[in-house]
Amino acid sequence: MFYWRATHTPSRGVGAVELAFTGRSAGRGSGPYAGLNLGGHVGDDPADVEANREVLARQVGVTRERLLFLDQVHGCDVVEVRGPWQGDVPAADAFVTRAGDLALAVLVADCVPVLLHDGDGGVVGAVHAGRPGMVAGIVPRSVRAMRDLGAKDIAATVGPSVCGRCYEVPQDMAMKAARTSPSAAARSWTGTTAIDVAAGVVEQLAAEGVPVQWVPGCTRETADLYSYRRDGRTGRFAGVVARRAVTA
């Protein structure tokens, strides 16, 4: 069920950090949502989505209510989380926390999932960075929100997303992205203007002094990942970061 997974073991007395990107295998979805669809807003059977989320929660070692998702809106708002949601789920595209035994998940099907952690400082975050969010600066805003919580040594894991060769866009849209992050300028397989959102995100992280681990994979070219560009009607996979509580 995981496309990629790793554990960061801190050098001080805080809990280990779990980092993961899910794949399509081992899920209950069918048809265009076949596999581990975690998106509840794309037309899949809600019972299947919830069953998939239950499985993911168990796999990352938290109870279901402590596996948190956002109401993603392609904006640049970052929220701090202290425990399971009470009331409505926030409309935002990134969240950060110092709380233990919480798993933060962002949903993607071509956009860039970014997992942030300062393991020794006990602060983690997850970011959904699509083209609008990258242009609006959601990634540096998330880094600064973590620093406001006391993070000193942040590292980033950037997950698979649609590559620049597969993300053809109109010229004016490409130019706007390139003005924000020059590394986002790209050309498609046929030579037309395109955007490499992940490259733009990595450039922004570097500007903030954040080291990056970049997990390879283009969603449009990889069958084990959902891709809106490839399929249109489809599911969502997740980037997940969880910090374990310290046990005695």
Domain boundaries, the chain: 2-243
Q: Given this model, what pLDDT does residue 11 score?
A: 72
pLDDT above 90 covers a percentage of the chain that reads: 91
Is residue 232 within 8 Å of residue 4, measured between CB atoms?
Answer: no
In the predicted model, what is the mean pLDDT of residues 173-186? 97
Is residue 226 within 8 Å of residue 235, measured between CB atoms?
Answer: yes
Average pLDDT along the chain: 95
Tell me which residue of 102, 49, 51 sits closest to 79, measured CA to CA: 102
How far apart, in whole angstroms, are the C-alpha atoms of residue 37 and residue 235? 5
Q: Given this model, what pLDDT does residue 246 score?
A: 67
- Mind listing the pLDDT tens digit for each residue in 32-49? 999 999 999 999 999 999
Find the range with the poorest average confidence among 94-98, 129-133, 243-247: 243-247
pLDDT of 248 over the 70 cut:
no
In the predicted model, what is the mean pLDDT of residues 147-151? 96
What is the spatial order of strands in the sheet that 237-243 belongs to? 2-8, 17-22, 237-243, 102-108, 67-68
Fold of 2-243: CNF1/YfiH-like putative cysteine hydrolases (3.60.140)
In the predicted model, what is the mean pLDDT of residues 62-86? 97
CA dist list (Å): 21 to 104, 149, 187? 12, 25, 27
Q: Given this model, what pLDDT does residue 247 score?
A: 55
